[in-house]
Copies of this chain bind each other. A is one copy, B any other.
Amino acid sequence: MYDVIIVGAGAAGLTAAIYTCRKKLKTAILSIDVGGQTNLTSHIENYPGTGPMHGIELMRRFQDEATGFGAELIMGKANKVEKIENSFRVGLANGEAYDCKALILAYGKVPKSLGIEGEEKFMGRGVSTCVTCDAPLFKKRDVAIIGGGNSAVEGALELATFAKKVYIIHRRDAFRADEITVGKLKQNQNIEIVINSVSLKINGEKNVESIDVENTITKEKRQIKIDGVFIEIGYVVDTSFVQHLVKVNEKKEIIVDERGNTSCPGIFSCGDITPVPFKQTVIAAGDGAKAALECYRWLTGGKGAVLDWTH
């Protein structure tokens, strides 16, 4: 039984963990990754106090601090939350379950999935949702990237600096990215543009070996041999597995007050999964600290009020 389980290990979740651990609460973090959206930024200049650095490096520091203060990091996708008497049980996709007295939901936005065969099976074994994180793994190999927005087009250009060949697969006939970026894409000899095409299936034995695509106009099918597939079709708020406990708004974001309280006593929330208007690392961190201190206050029956400076 943990005092607190934090779902998500981005700026909000890791900061919350720093604060709950420093209040001597037994804390576990359940997450599919470490770093969240901050990882996607190669050069953060506006997180105060650290100087410019890669988002991944900044999040590694947050992680080291959270685990250094005693947080236990458990990798896995939370997909079930039950209220059992005075505690909560959080289930992971792999069947494991963990109990806690209080819960902080800080898992932010999650990458949209294509919903095709092989996608989930090969996740982490050729399928990735983070170019910045995983591009270096595909040096001199062939990869596909799926999507038509800025992040897909920029991702293709970044991948092309590592990979031998990059296929960018987009279901429409034009890219939504900036013209300048699309221009660079068209000029790059290592990139093959596959437009008007939908992905049908990712194939392989242990790892990704190929992807089946279909031209939406000619209905022609094609199998492209590749070693990796990057899915860059955007991010989405997924609160489907907690909506029986907490109120959400019309965008499915978890409604919180200014201290991170949700509509369910004992469940707190912070970061991109809430309606906070500005998506910034320092803002997520600040709101993570608020949710953690409010959680501490709740667990201690309001006696743990932290109404003054308590560095």
Contacts and interface: CB of A to CB of B under 8 A. Distances in A.
A246 to B, nearest CB: 18
Contacts of A294: 277-278
A139 interface: no
Given A49-B58, A283-B289, A283-B290, A309 B258 contact: no
A267 B22 CA distance: 35
B48 A285 contact: yes
Interface string A283-311: 11111011001100000000000111111
Q: How many copies does the complex hold?
A: 2
A304 B280 CA distance: 15
Contacts of A290: 276-278, 283
A311 B46 contact: yes
B45 A282 contact: no
A18 interface: yes
A278 B293 contact: yes
Contacts of A280: 286, 289, 293, 309-311
Contacts of A65: 48-49, 51
Given A280-B311, A311-B280, A49 B46 contact: no
Classify chain A's interface size: 35 or more
A41 interface: yes
Given A14-B48, A48-B285, A283-B289, A41 B278 contact: no
29 contacts: A15-B48, A15-B282, A18-B48, A44-B311, A45-B311, A46-B289, A48-B61, A48-B65, A49-B49, A49-B58, A49-B285, A50-B50, A51-B65, A258-B258, A259-B277, A259-B278, A277-B293, A277-B294, A278-B293, A278-B306, A279-B307, A280-B289, A280-B293, A280-B310, A280-B311, A283-B289, A284-B286, A285-B285, A286-B289
Interface of A: 11, 14-15, 18-19, 22, 37-38, 40-41, 43-51, 55, 58, 61-62, 65, 258-259, 276-287, 289-290, 293-294, 306-311
